[in-house]
């Protein structure tokens, strides 16, 4: 008896060969991919080339290429060249595409030409999840994360970056000129060779200086005073660590707090989140079907106008307010230490004095009410309150909406922990799948398509983990 398990002889002839379907088990996720794409109305979603060619060689059906891409993103195979190789050797892909193996150019062109339709297919899967009852909670978390683009920091130019590089080149030119003076005082052959090398480097630096001066003019004329050479739509994104900024995109995501499924997403090249609260919350409202949606966000989204618009749309936002005043840091009372008394329309200070309403003015389009008292001069707590003549408090006309946000945060002290537990691992998983370089495509519209495929693959994996394959297949068939 053999000591090891022996495989079949590769030269063995079989009378009745196995079917390709025998190599794909009934609980294989590839069957979900096949059935999901078959159930989509590709024409309504906007996929191109739905009509066969009148002459010439027929093209591939969009369903075949969509299945190929979805399978690839599920298995972290996102390159069109790798997908071409897998289609010719992967048994699951042979089963999925009917042994078709499109060339890499055809595969890449499909993703480029059908961006809006692929994004619509991603939204269609959200509709399916809602029908499955996986979005019944009505509570979501909102966050944004920076993803690297196909553009290095050296190929991104801002006014500050150009000035910094010009200063570095000026310092380099001064250093080489000093070295050239030193070499001139020497007459040996080594000094002559050194002078030639230094002169070449000086010419290179002067050429680079002229290029940067020309780029400085272009940057100043750009609409947002920023230019990226490799990916024109990519922008410099600030990060927390000093010197760790990247050039990329800001990916916004609305995520269900119960099952951690991505409800809505969008790719932007705006480096901050302050203007995204209303836009993304409304997308989450539409996707979940909950008019009274509860949204958890971090302080990067805090904006009075955005919070007011959410409140008017029936969206309850919970997020902390950033401390923009330096009073607390300097050991003085902050605005939160003053209690507003609505009936009297006054503020009560920590010393117990009333700060009555004085006047109203408009700043930056906001109607602001001013409050202060003349009793500050003889107050024993004045040193801990204000270095000015009297402490003045400003109240926005819709300040009650912001106070409601703070009350919701106080009532749920674990809200921010829930937000972190919901969103952080989702972005970490996506970045892990995408690798160190993150995006592979260029331009915002192509990057948005690539992100939609990643999100669709992520959501499909989450649903498979929750429901398993057979129940999901049963629902799709129904």
Instruction: Decide if pLDDT at 125 tops 60.
Output: yes
Long-range contacts of 108-114 (CB under 8 A, 24+ apart): 108/80, 110/60, 110/62, 110/65, 110/66, 110/69, 111/69, 111/80, 111/441, 111/446, 111/449, 111/450, 111/453, 112/441, 112/446, 112/449, 113/48, 114/46, 114/47, 114/48, 114/62, 114/449
Which residue in 273, 250, 252, 255 sits closest to 141, CA to CA? 255
How many Å from the N-terminal Cα to the C-terminal Cα in the chain?
Answer: 51
What's the number of CA atoms in the CB half-sphere (13 Å) around residue 164? 7
The strand pairing partners of 360, in sequence order, are: 369
Q: Are residues 363 and 316 in the same domain?
A: no
Please give the DSSP secondary-structure letter assigned to residue 367.
E
Q: Are residues 123 and 83 in the same domain?
A: yes
Query: What H or E segment, with its residue span, contains residue 366?
Result: strand 366-372
Q: Are residues 412 and 296 in the same domain?
A: yes
- What does the pLDDT read at residue 319? 93
**End of a domain among 205, 225, 245?**
225
Q: At what angle do helices 469-477 and 444-467 cross, to 10 degrees?
A: 110
- What does the pLDDT read at residue 2? 64
**End of a domain among 178, 200, 225?**
225
In a domain, 306, yes or no: yes
- Asked if residue 72 lies in contact with residue 454, where contact means CB atoms within 8 angstroms, the answer is no
Long-range contacts of 203-210 (CB under 8 A, 24+ apart): 205/169, 205/172, 205/173, 205/176, 206/173, 208/169, 209/166, 209/169, 209/170, 209/173
Please give the DSSP secondary-structure letter assigned to residue 180.
H
Give the β-pairing of 294-296 and 262-268. unpaired
In a domain, 457, yes or no: no
CATH number of domain containing 304: 3.30.420
User: How sure is the predictor about 55, in pLDDT bands with cuts at 50, 70 and 90?
Assistant: low
Residue pLDDT, tens place only, 371-401: 998 888 888 888 888 888 889 999 999 999 9
As a whole number of angstroms, the distance between CA 429 and CA 434 comes to: 9
Mean pLDDT calculated for residue range 203-208: 90
- What does the pLDDT read at residue 53? 60
Q: Are residues 24 and 95 in the same domain?
A: yes
As a whole number of angstroms, the distance between CA 412 and CA 410 comes to: 5
As a whole number of angstroms, the distance between CA 212 and CA 165 comes to: 8
**Residue with tokens 């004095």, as numbered in its chain:** 353
Instruction: Decide if pLDDT at 194 tops 90.
Output: no
As a whole number of angstroms, the distance between CA 166 and CA 211 comes to: 10
Q: Are residues 305 and 336 in the same domain?
A: no
Q: Are residues 97 and 27 in the same domain?
A: yes
- What does the pLDDT read at residue 187? 67
In a domain, 83, yes or no: yes
Query: What H or E segment, with its residue span, contains residue 361?
Result: strand 354-363
- Asked if residue 267 lies in contact with residue 447, where contact means CB atoms within 8 angstroms, the answer is yes
User: How sure is the predictor about 57, in pLDDT bands with cuts at 50, 70 and 90?
Assistant: confident
In a domain, 94, yes or no: yes
Domain extent at residue 119: 20-132+470-477
Instruction: Decide if pLDDT at 455 tops 60.
Output: yes
Instruction: Decide if pLDDT at 1 tops 80.
Output: no
Q: Are residues 123 and 167 in the same domain?
A: no
Residue 13 burial (C-beta neighbours within 10 Å; 0-12, 13-18, 19+): exposed
In a domain, 454, yes or no: no
User: How sure is the predictor about 188, in pLDDT bands with cuts at 50, 70 and 90?
Assistant: low
Mean pLDDT calculated for residue range 344-360: 90
Q: Are residues 26 and 111 in the same domain?
A: yes
**End of a domain among 343, 370, 399?**
399
Q: Are residues 312 and 338 in the same domain?
A: no
Q: How many domains, the chain? A: 4
User: How sure is the predictor about 49, in pLDDT bands with cuts at 50, 70 and 90?
Assistant: low
**Helix-strand-coil split of the chain, %, nearest 5:** 50, 15, 35
In a domain, 246, yes or no: yes
As a whole number of angstroms, the distance between CA 412 and CA 417 comes to: 10
- What does the pLDDT read at residue 54? 66
Which residue in 64, 2, 75 sits closest to 34, CA to CA? 64
Torsion of CA 36, 39, 40, 42, to 10 degrees: 120
- What does the pLDDT read at residue 449? 95
**Residue with tokens 């760790």, as numbered in its chain:** 244
- Asked if residue 128 lies in contact with residue 122, where contact means CB atoms within 8 angstroms, the answer is no
Angle in degrees, CA 68, 63, 117, rounded to 5: 100
Q: Are residues 170 and 300 in the same domain?
A: no
Instruction: Decide if pLDDT at 50 tops 60.
Output: no
Query: What does pLDDT average to over the chain?
Result: 89
- Collapse the DSSP code of 273 into the 3-class scheme (helix H, G, I; strand E, B; otherwise coil) and give the result: coil
In a domain, 460, yes or no: no
Q: Are residues 198 and 242 in the same domain?
A: no
- What does the pLDDT read at residue 241? 63
Q: Are residues 420 and 301 in the same domain?
A: yes
- What does the pLDDT read at residue 141? 95
- What does the pLDDT read at residue 102? 93
Can you give the pTM of this predicted structure?
0.88
- What does the pLDDT read at residue 29? 92
In a domain, 449, yes or no: no
């Amino acid at each position: 008896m053999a000591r090891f398990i022996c495989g079949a002889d590769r030269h063995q002839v079989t009378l009745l060969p196995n079917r390709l379907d025998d190599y794909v088990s009934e609980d294989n996720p590839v069957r979900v991919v096949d059935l999901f794409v078959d159930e989509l109305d590709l024409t309504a979603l906007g996929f191109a080339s739905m009509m066969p060619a009148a002459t010439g060689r027929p093209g591939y059906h969009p369903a075949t290429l969509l299945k190929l891409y979805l399978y690839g993103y599920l298995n972290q195979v996102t390159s069109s060249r790798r997908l071409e190789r897998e289609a010719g050797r992967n048994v699951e892909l042979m089963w999925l595409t009917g042994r078709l193996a499109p060339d890499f150019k055809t595969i890449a062109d499909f993703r480029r030409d059908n961006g809006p339709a692929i994004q619509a297919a991603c939204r269609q899967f959200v509709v399916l999840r809602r029908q499955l009852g996986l979005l019944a909670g009505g509570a979501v978390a909102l966050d944004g994360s920076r993803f690297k683009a196909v553009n290095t920091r050296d190929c991104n130019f801002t006014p500050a970056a150009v000035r910094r590089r010009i200063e570095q080149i000026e310092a380099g030119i001064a250093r080489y000129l000093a070295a050239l003076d030193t070499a001139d005082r020497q007459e040996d052959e080594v000094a002559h060779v050194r002078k030639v090398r230094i002169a070449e480097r000086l010419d290179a630096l002067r050429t680079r200086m002229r290029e940067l001066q020309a780029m400085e003019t272009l940057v100043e004329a750009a609409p947002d005073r920023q230019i990226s050479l490799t990916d024109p739509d990519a922008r410099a994104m600030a990060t927390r660590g000093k010197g760790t900024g990247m050039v990329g995109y800001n990916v916004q995501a609305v995520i269900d707090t119960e099952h951690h499924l991505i409800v809505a997403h969008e790719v932007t090249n705006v480096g901050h989140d302050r203007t995204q609260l209303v836009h993304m919350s409304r997308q989450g409202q539409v996707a979940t079907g909950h008019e009274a949606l509860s949204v958890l966000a971090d302080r990067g989204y805090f904006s009075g106008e955005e919070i007011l618009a959410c409140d008017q749309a029936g969206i309850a936002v919970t997020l902390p307010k950033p401390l923009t005043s330096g009073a607390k840091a300097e050991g003085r009372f902050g605005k939160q230490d003053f209690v507003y008394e609505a009936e009297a329309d006054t503020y009560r200070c920590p010393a117990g004095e009333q700060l009555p309403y004085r006047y109203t003015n408009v700043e930056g389009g906001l109607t602001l009410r001013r409050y202060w008292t003349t009793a500050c001069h003889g107050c024993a707590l004045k040193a801990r309150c204000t270095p000015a003549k009297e402490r003045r408090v400003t109240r926005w006309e819709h300040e009650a909406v912001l106070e409601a946000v703070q009350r919701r945060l106080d009532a749920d002290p674990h809200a921010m922990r829930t937000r972190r537990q919901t969103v952080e691992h989702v972005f970490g998983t996506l970045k892990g799948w995408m690798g160190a370089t993150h995006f592979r495509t260029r331009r915002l519209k192509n990057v948005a398509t690539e992100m939609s495929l990643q999100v669709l693959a992520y959501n499909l994996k989450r649903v498979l983990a929750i429901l398993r394959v057979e129940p999901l297949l049963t629902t799709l068939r129904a």
